[in-house]
Structure 1
Amino acid sequence: MEHLIIAPILIPAFAGMLLLLEVRERQRLRRLTGLLATLALIPVALGLWQQAASGDIGVYQLGDWRAPFGIVLVLDRLSALMVLLTAVLALPALIYGSRGDDRRGANFHALFQLQLMGINGAFLTGDLFNLFVFFEVLLIASYGLALHGRGPARVKGGIHYVVLNLIGSALFLVALGLAYGTTGTLNMADFAVKVSELEGNSLDLARLSGLLMWVVFGLKAALFPLYFWLPATYASATAPVAALFAIMTKVGIYAIARVYGLAFSGGALAGLGRDPLWILALITLGLAAVGVLGARRLGEMVAYLLVMSVGTLVAGLAWSSPAAFGAMLYYLIHSTLVCGGLFLLADLVSRGRGELADRLEAGPSPVGRGVLGALFFAGAIAVVGLPPLSGFIGKVALMQAVPAPVYWLLLLGGGLIALIGLSRAGSTLFWRATGDGEERSLDGPRLAATVALLATTPALAIWGEPVLEACLAVAGQWAQPGLYIDAVLGAGESAL
């Protein structure tokens, strides 16, 4: 079990390389390879969560080079939770994509696996430079996935996405250069120790490095004013790609939580950027709610709902208490899975409406209107936070943990605005529909993948108490950065 921590990186890496070598015409083999690799991530992620749930922090030293000089992977409750969430989201998305979407462009399955490699690596790395490396791996794969299927809308949205993220990558390198120049290390634990000892000009440079990181992570998380690329990119992407991309914003939020919780939790830089993060999160929440109301397509509406969740989550993170962080994690799980399912549902609706697709205009009735309507109703209730589903539990937990009236107002007001927008969408697509759509029957595996993701919201409600307790346990460990630092640097000392 010692080497299990590297499996979430190696499995998709080897599968991606194998898929690049496989003959493109043998689509069934490529699908089988991708599905088996993605399926294998679930027991691996469960095993890692079981290891981390004990409270011990695992450190894996690649090449047996001790920290802080060597590359380390770190498994704590937070990283294990994020790897498990990625695996649970990825499998239904890939099942959906294997029903024909993968034929719309080259190397879909290879890019999908490389995307998973980058995401899992970002969650597990204990080094700032390797966080940059895994960011680049997942971004390069996401560039191809965002353009998968071609079309002018995808190209337009993809160009904005690529350009902004290239700028973000350049800023990240500058931030890393400043961090290394002032502390002489990029190991997160060692950086956290050394940054607290800085003073004078070195302290100012470290502060600038931290602020640049917040800009980069805010771009990855789609935080105001850097979220405008997301609705167009996600709404124009194919459904399985958009569903997988639901975890992408969480990579940015995770990076903020990890670096903030370690390097800027104490010393002269304690609380660096907290107030701006709080303000930007509230603005993101409010503007995204307006975007939901003004959306003209169902996919675009779901994208704005995802941005709303970003504002909700970052505000909870900026409050920086263990209770708020635990509630935020519960809401993070809920919003990622539900938004992923709604992206798939939007595609199912659009397939039977001809040229109208998912545009919010009265037109042909989508096939399986009763089933899809029920799924839409459940997803809408969950995503706006109405009882009795998981969104309601998450919002109540956040409001209890973050006693800020302005946050409550935006959380509840944004939910009301989103409810109005979703009600309009539901009535247009299902109640005012006329005639029959082009497709005569729902695709079974596509429907099953959609149901699998949307079914997580009643499951999270039924088992809300143990899930919330687990999230609070994750938060409790996160709030004690000394445990992480001692585990990483102590493992390096023990190797001497």
Structure 2
Amino acid sequence: MTQHLIILPVVLPLVAGIVLLYRRLGRLSQTKRLISVVTTVLLLPISAALVMQASSGDVTYYALGSWQPPFGIVLVLDRLSALMLLVTAILAVGSVVYACGGDDEKGSNFHGLFQWQLMGLNGAFLTGDLFNLFVFFEVLLLASYALLLHGGGKAKIQASVHYVVLNIAGSSLFLIAAGVLYGATGTLNMADMAERIAQLPAEREGLVTAGALLLLVVFGLKAAMLPLYFWLPRTYGYAPAPVAALFAIMTKVGIYAILRVYMLMFSDHAGALAALEQPWVWWLALATLVMASMGVLAARDLRLLVAYLILVSVGTLLAGIGMRSPEAVSALLYYLIHTTLVTGGLFLLAAMIGTQRGKAGTRLAKGRPMAEGGGLALLFFIGAIAVAGLPPLSGALGKALLLNAAEGSQRLWLWPLLLLSGLAALVALSRAGSTMFWASHRGTPGGDPLPRPQWVGVIWLVAAAPILLMLFAGPVSDYTHATAEQLANPEALIETLLPATGDAP
């Protein structure tokens, strides 16, 4: 069973999705909820076991159909892929539990599509093949197209049209880039491609550079990097709450892809092509940070505010990639865990607040007092401290690690911009909190009691995650540091996957 553990994060949600879309289960909402929640919760121990397996430093792979690399399709497990699987599982548990409070009944086939999106996410984190990275991108995108429309509504349809069109364009560019790189190197296995790029003839360097920069455009679109982020605020702002929460990991797929592809294929051994993405990512990250901070201050709706906070985190993470040192990568991985879980939870919390406020919804305007305002205010306070990066929660440590990783002239740019972005978040969240909980004190408290599953989902992500991440900061940062070292030295992965240079398991 142990050797098949790697494939379970893909197969389990695939099978669950097929079962959940079976017609005869159409009216059995409780059965669907049970299958979906059990499947998602099972991903937690599986992902934790894979993290324990990867923590030894060994790279393992699963050859589908027993076709060995570089010719066959492989799923590769290292520290980075295991970490991303675990973060996805934690986020998914909070989202699906919240959805069982009633949001899953606002449209059809929510749970089946939710599982298939998990399959696409997990497959993207595990694949060792560039073309299959494209395939899993398409799987998660197709599921996300349908999930965006869950519950219907004009605003959702308008936001989804922009999202679909841009991602179709991105998919087309991905295919072109993969074709260019395959034509120049003769392989699609990323480890094999890294070996061939290191020995690339000078006349093919231009072609590989063009393909690599095309991929950067695609991954930048997925990560919502400036100038390719304008689709995100409306899309995330109008998505159903559990869908928007799960979408918090979607931008991290782009971050992951940049880390995986460029630190493996364009490492220090790539000669003239080494770190070709670094200047582009660094300056666009800083620009993303500036523009996202302005969006945070300008937002007049709580859901849009959280969407712009995701863009702030994207700029922060990309700045870590732009610094390209093991210390910076370690810091960004710690911050990635924190920001993914907290922003996902804030989308859920925003929906609960909007439900309690009635007609005022999530608009940052005075409304009626909330019947359960005390608990919501406490969770909002914890979430605001965490996402703004204030002590004593994990956001402060993540930002401190990133600031400490900056060297030389990098400090002149990153320190003021990162600190000012935190100030912008603090100002915007303080304004939002005072408007919704303090200024809205007149009238009779309203709002129906919120379902217990919604409270569980929000507490899981907004309160428990940043507190536990801070309490276990030592072992978590040790793991992220070891992950960064493994990424900076990809020889072990290459030797494991290529039989000519190492022993295949």
How far apart, in 1, do the equivalents of 2:128 and 2:371 lie?
Answer: 48
For 1:289, the equivalent position in structure 2 comes to: 293
Provide the TM-score with structure 2 as the length reference: 0.96
Matched, 1:78 2:80: yes
What's the CA shift for 1:441? 2.1
Using structure 1 for the length normalisation, give the TM-score: 0.98
Of 80, 103, 106, the match for 1:104:
106
Give secondary structure in 1 for the equivalent of 2:101: coil
Instruction: Please name the residue that 2:376 is paired with.
Output: 372
Partner of 1:176: 178
CA contact (8 A) 2:496 2:502 kept: no
Rounded Cα–Cα distance in structure 1 between residues aligned with 2:67 and 2:500: 10
1:7 aligns with 2:8: yes
| Residue 463 of structure 1, CA deviation | 1.6
Q: Which amino acid aligns with 1:400?
A: N
**In the alignment, does 2:287 pair up with 1:277?**
no
Aligned residues of 2:95 and 2:243 also touching (Cα < 8 A) = yes
Report the CA distance shift for 1:98/1:440 in structure 2 as closer, same or farther (over 3 A): closer
Deviation at 1:437, TM superposition (A): 4.9
1:142-183: CA deviation from partner (whole Å, max 9, x where unpaired): 001111111111111111100000000000000000011011
Q: 2:322 aligns with which of 318, 339, 343?
A: 318
User: Quick one: which of 24, 27, 43 aligns to 1:25?
Assistant: 27
Residue in 2 that maps onto 1:442: 450
Note the C-alpha offset of 1:491.
8.6
Q: Deviations over 1:291-339 (max 9, x none)?
A: 1111111011001001100000011011110010000000000000000
1:253–1:436 distance in 2 versus 1, CA, 3 Å: farther
Q: Is the 2:496–2:503 contact (alpha carbons within 8 Å) kept by the matching residues of 1?
A: no
Task: Quote the sequence identity (%).
Answer: 54
Give the C-alpha shift of residue 493 in structure 1.
6.7
- What amino acid does structure 1 have at the position aligned with 2:373? R
Query: Aligned AA for 1:435?
Result: G
Mark the CA change 1:187 to 1:232 in structure 2 (over 3 Å): closer, same or farther: same
Q: Is the 8 A contact 1:322 1:476 kept in 2?
A: yes
Aligned residue among 226, 229, 232 for 1:227: 229
Partner in structure 1 of residue 220 of structure 2? 218
Q: Distance in 1 between matches of 2:235 and 2:137?
A: 18
Match for residue 481 of structure 1 among 478, 490, 500 = 490
2:159 equivalent among 153, 157, 160: 157
Q: 1:388 to 1:491 in 2, by over 3 A?
A: farther
Instruction: Indicate the SS of the match to 1:60.
Output: strand
Are the equivalent residues in 1 in contact too, given 2:495–2:501 (CA < 8 A)? Answer: no
Q: 1:447 to 1:436 in 2, by over 3 A?
A: farther
What does residue 419 of structure 2 align with? 412
After TM superposition, the structure 1 stretch with the greater mean CA deviation from structure 2, 405-414 or 266-275, is: 266-275
- The CA distance in 2 between the partners of 1:436 and 1:122, in whole Å, is 49
Task: Indicate yes or no: 2:390 matched with 1:386.
Answer: yes
Contact 1:15/1:113, CA 8 A, preserved across alignment? yes
Give the distance between the partners of 1:438 and 1:100, measured in 2 at CA. Answer: 19
What is the identity, as a one-letter code, of the residue corresponding to 1:446? Q
What's the counterpart of residue 67 of structure 2?
65
**Aligned runs of 1:193-272 on 2, under 5 Å?**
193-265=195-267, 266-272=270-276
User: What residue identity is the alignment partner of 1:16?
Assistant: G
Check conservation: 1:365, 1:435, Cα contact below 8 A. Answer: yes
SS of alignment partner, residue 275 of structure 2: coil
8 Å Cα contact 1:93-1:241 kept in structure 2: yes
The 1:437–1:175 alpha-carbon spacing in structure 2 relative to 1, beyond 3 Å, is farther
Decide whether aligned partners of structure 1 residues 102 and 381 sit closer, same or farther in structure 2, where only a CA change above 3 A counts: same
| Alpha-carbon distance, 1:365 to partner | 1.7
CA gap of 1:467–1:494, structure 2 versus 1, over 3 A, is closer
Q: Distance in 1 between matches of 2:163 and 2:276?
A: 28
Contact 1:196 1:268 in 2 (8 A): no
Determine if contact 1:15/1:110 at 8 Å carries over to the other structure. yes
Which AA in structure 2 matches 1:461? Answer: M
User: Which segments of 5 or more consecutive residues in structure 1 lack a partner in the other structure?
Assistant: none
1:367 and 1:442 in contact (8 A); partners too? no
AA matched with 2:52: Q
